[in-house]
Amino acid sequence: MLKSYIGYLICIIFFSIRICNAGVACIQCLTYPTCHDCASGEMCVVVKPDCHSCGSANCVKKR
């Protein structure tokens, strides 16, 4: 019970109440995804974390 309550609080703090539901236990991510320095001609693309994934960040070529 306490573990799921803590997970829910983390969802509220780090994500959005609209993403996390009280009935869903969210995973716990320790950091927000960030890119290292991208090469010239590349840009950082971040997939935001949600209750089911910690997200990701990758350098991709600019279009």
Q: Residue 41 corresponds to which tokens in the numbers above?
A: 């001609």
pLDDT digit string (tens) for the chain, length 63 residues: 444 444 444 554 554 444 455 566 899 999 999 998 999 999 999 999 999 999 999 999 998
Structural domain boundaries in the chain:
2-61
pLDDT for res 61: 96
pLDDT for res 16: 47
SS3 61: strand
pLDDT for res 22: 57
pLDDT for res 41: 95
pLDDT for res 24: 66
Nearest-angstrom CA–CA distance, 46 and 49: 9
Query: Which of 31, 7, 32 is CA-nearest to residue 21?
Result: 7
